[in-house]
Amino acid sequence: MVPISLDPPQQARFRRILEPLFSPRALTHLLPTVRSLAVQLIDDFIDRGECDLIWDFAIPFPAGVFLALFGLPSEDRDRLLVWKDAITNLFAPQDSFEPPEEVLKSAAEMYEYLQWQIVQRSLHDGGCDLLRQLLADTSEERLSTEELLGMSLMFILAGLQPVTSSLSTQFAQLAAKVELRQQIVQDPALIPGAVEELLRFEPPAPFLLRLATQETELGGYTIPDGARVHIAVGAANRDPAVYVDPDSIDFKRRQ
């Protein structure tokens, strides 16, 4: 799981490689594809006058974006989602480090699939997807095949489930609060601020899993060396020392 499983200074190398590929300018070419995916999904249910937001949009949309980013076939979406659901269980709070057999099987299948895709791109030129751009790197810091596989796995887990969760919670707030929907309908210019505010209010990844590398004293408690630590980073988004009325949603929030 690179680069999030690495500490500085090793992590800095991955940041130098990846940051230019994820700048707003670098991702501009992907926007038409992203919009087209969203429109296509909405067109599939608009005539019904209703939808199950999770199954009809929040799950398939980020999967489609990931496939486009990596230049993978759209028909691989369903099995990608099966693998993602199984492997996500690895990161759920649990007492044992031993993953279930079905999770290991899914991880092996995904690993083999990604490995095959990387080999294919190394043999055939053309295209500007993320894998091809990374494989075209000839610098001394270029990623090895193992590092590229680990990074690809991280992108699947970080780019699918958190986006689905974020879309789910944001639309849940809009569904429950009519006044918020009315604000956006009356003034679509509020949308960028609305996205930021809803991400603050309901972050897609409120907890981070870390491993203590040494015994540490924190807040009067001892964290043993090797302990699994679940850090509630989402609590920072509701810090009253930083945000005025942090438990309310304000699309025009300045602090």
Confidence of residue 25 (pLDDT cuts 50, 70, 90): confident
What percent of the chain stands above pLDDT 90?
47
The answer to whether position 227 is within a domain reads no
Written as one letter, the residue type at 12 is A
Segment 35-94, tens digit of pLDDT: 999 999 999 999 999 999 999 999 999 999 999 998 888 899 998 988 888 777 665 555
- CA 83, CA 104: separation in Å to the nearest integer? 10
The distance of Cα 241 from the centroid of its chain, to the nearest Å, equals 28
Task: State the DSSP string of 180-242.
Answer: HHHHHHH-GGGHHHHHHHHHHHS-S---EEEE-SS-EEETTEEE-TT-EEEE-GGGGGG-TTT
pTM over the 0.75 mark:
yes
For residue 1, the model assigns a pLDDT of 67
Weakest mean pLDDT among 30-44, 55-69, 129-143, 178-192: 129-143
Residues 202, 223: contact at Cβ < 8 Å? no
Q: pLDDT band for position 205 (50/70/90)?
A: confident
Among 155, 139, 145, which Cα is nearest to 13's?
139
Range of the domain at 116: 10-176
Neighbouring C-beta atoms of residue 179, cutoff 10 Å: 7
Kindly state the greatest CA–CA separation across the chain: 59
Is the residue at 67 inside a domain?
Answer: yes
Whether 165 maps to a domain, the answer reads yes
Domains contained in the chain, number: 1
Q: Let me know if residue 38 belongs to a domain.
A: yes
Distances, alpha carbon 34 to alpha carbons 13, 18, 31, 138, 229, in Å:
29, 20, 5, 29, 35
Q: Report the CATH number at residue 38.
A: 1.10.630.10
- Identify the pLDDT of residue 5: 74
The arithmetic mean of pLDDT across residues 187-214, rounded, is 92
Is residue 123 domain-resident? yes
Establish if 155 belongs to a structural domain. Answer: yes
User: Which of 69-83, 147-161, 238-252 has the weakest average pLDDT?
Assistant: 147-161
Handedness of CA 173, 174, 177, 179 (dihedral sign): positive
Whole-number percent of the chain with pLDDT over 70? 94
Give 60 or 125, the one with higher predicted confidence: 60
Is 242 contained in some domain? no
Residue 85: per-residue pLDDT: 83
In a domain, 231, yes or no: no
8 Å CB contact between 161 and 89: no
Q: Are 73 and 67 in contact (CB under 8 A)?
A: yes
Backbone phi, psi, residue 75, to 5°: -70, -10
